Chain A
């Protein structure tokens, strides 16, 4: 564990696809697990400040036209705000609709010996 990393718990305490709110060094973060991958971002929507950890983890529906089959990509990698539904990519923090203008800060997460470590300085 490096000096800016914090141990936020055992891997088994993070259910897949369910956002979990953690406090690290005075920061409130949202942590999401997707299989062996973990994502962490600031737990505040840039729109109205709602706690993103109260939202849903989803995928991106892909449908060329109304009536066509719907497929999903990036499942488990998108969080939607519990208030207005704004969506953010958990990997990059970028808004799905305005990726160049809206972004939530993200933090690196690693797993060492089944312990989840987040680098949130």
Chain B
């Protein structure tokens, strides 16, 4: 059903020059019910869902005052939940902001399901649903291949299966894993992503099997949300120190929705420790920060907003690569970053162009066959 209410497009400060090439690296879509996934599940699992009354994977215990953690204007006419109506999302996001490509990250919690066969069936169903319901709906959508960290072998097979569809441009993992991703048990995921030439995106979320912070369970959503950087830091340290980029020198990893202001401090601390502890990780051939700059990319949302905007530019300068950041809105979530307001006015135009467009085209192959 087409939406009857069209959101008012916001005029871009950069006018058509920027708008025509804007790339959004983090957008979310969700199947509203089991019925939406039923066409993509084998008979066995549809029967299982009916028999056990399955209503979806376990949800986060942290609720932040926003239904579905979404913008209040992102509920489609007719009441579909935010992120469940391709036509409305097209109007409210792609058309409103004249976006060239937008990457859909379907955050369905398959790692929260202990039954591996069921979880893997849902993993495959989500990817097929994404292709049929969303990617077919508009040529500007691109997809991420959802995988199941609890079953790296099945995830590798899923990457090979889905990567045949060139509209999928990366592999998708959750930031809060049960073990850091550099651990060798995850090798099949990174090996296969490297083989098929796709970046691995690590996105905000996950973690219901483990305490969500390094000190256990906080009380409030604001704590959970802010402390998510701990998980990202752990993954960066682990992937570098465990030699994943030594094994797979072409591998790229994209950190999504974790911010980036913490990165300079992490790089300094890790490099300093490497000076005295390099004997422990002799496979590394250069400073950890050099692996980070070469192999990682980060999406901007939710961008840090220091009181003095010059400090944001200082952070970017400290990271040291102008191809490091890629723009993302996080639509339809409540902490959406608006393309016309996200960057301070003092940011150089050339850097904005890199972040809005160029860096994503260097990281992703949007016209993959």
Task: Note whether A and B form a binding pair.
Answer: yes
Chain A residues with CB under 8 Å of chain B are 47, 58, 60-68, 70, 80-81, 84-87, 95-98
- Asked if A66 and B242 sit within 8 Å, CB to CB, the answer is yes
- Asked if A67 and B279 sit within 8 Å, CB to CB, the answer is no
Query: Of B242, B243, B247, B275, which is within 8 A of A84 by CB?
Result: B275
- Asked if A63 and B282 sit within 8 Å, CB to CB, the answer is yes
- Asked if B283 and A65 sit within 8 Å, CB to CB, the answer is yes
- Asked if A65 and B276 sit within 8 Å, CB to CB, the answer is no
* Interface presence of B274 (CB below 8 A): yes
Find chain A residues with CB under 8 A from B246 CB: 64-65
Most chain-B Cβ atoms within 10 A of its Cβ — which of A63, A81, A95?
A: A63
Given known A67-B184, A97-B287, contact A61–B275 (CB-CB < 8 A): no
Secondary structure at the A interface, as helix, strand, loop or mixed, is loop
- Counting contact residues on chain B (CB < 8 A from A), the size range is 10 to 19
Q: A61-B282, A97-B274 are in contact. List 11 more A-B contacts (CB 8 A).
A: A64-B246, A66-B283, A68-B283, A70-B282, A84-B276, A85-B277, A85-B279, A86-B275, A86-B276, A97-B278, A97-B287
How far is the CB of A76 from the nearest CB of chain B, in Å?
15
Find chain A residues with CB under 8 A from B247 CB: 65
CA distance A66 to B282 in the complex (A): 9
Given known A61-B282, A97-B287, contact A66–B277 (CB-CB < 8 A): no
A-B pairs, 3 with minimum CB distance: A85-B276, A61-B282, A84-B276
- Asked if B279 and A65 sit within 8 Å, CB to CB, the answer is no
CA distance A24 to B149 in the complex (A): 61
Secondary structure at the B interface, as helix, strand, loop or mixed, is helix
CA distance A67 to B247 in the complex (A): 12
Find chain A residues with CB under 8 A from B287 CB: 97
How far is the CB of B346 from the nearest CB of chain A, in Å?
33
- List, sorted by A's number, 29 A–B pairs whose CB atoms are closer than 8 Å: A47-B275, A60-B279, A61-B279, A61-B282, A62-B282, A63-B283, A64-B283, A65-B243, A65-B246, A65-B247, A65-B283, A66-B184, A66-B243, A66-B283, A67-B184, A70-B282, A80-B276, A81-B276, A84-B275, A84-B276, A85-B275, A85-B276, A85-B277, A86-B275, A87-B279, A97-B275, A97-B278, A97-B287, A98-B275
Find chain B residues with CB under 8 A from A81 CB: 276
B 295-317 contacts with A by CB, 8 A:
none
Number of A-B contacts (CB under 8 A): 42
Nearest CB in chain A to that of B286: its residue: A97
Most chain-B Cβ atoms within 10 A of its Cβ — which of A65, A95, A96?
A: A65
Most chain-A Cβ atoms within 10 A of its Cβ — which of B243, B247, B275, B277?
A: B275
CA distance A98 to B271 in the complex (A): 11
CA distance A63 to B284 in the complex (A): 9
How far is the CB of B284 from the nearest CB of chain A, in Å?
10
Find chain B residues with CB under 8 A from A62 CB: 282
How far is the CB of A38 from the nearest CB of chain B, in Å?
24
- Asked if A96 and B278 sit within 8 Å, CB to CB, the answer is yes
CA distance A41 to B242 in the complex (A): 34
Nearest CB in chain B to that of A71: its residue: B282
Nearest CB in chain A to that of B277: its residue: A85
Find chain B residues with CB under 8 A from A58 CB: 279
How far is the CB of A71 from the nearest CB of chain B, in Å?
10
Find chain A residues with CB under 8 A from B274 CB: 97
Find chain A residues with CB under 8 A from B276 CB: 80-81, 84-87
B 142-175 contacts with A by CB, 8 A:
none
Most chain-A Cβ atoms within 10 A of its Cβ — which of B247, B274, B276?
A: B276
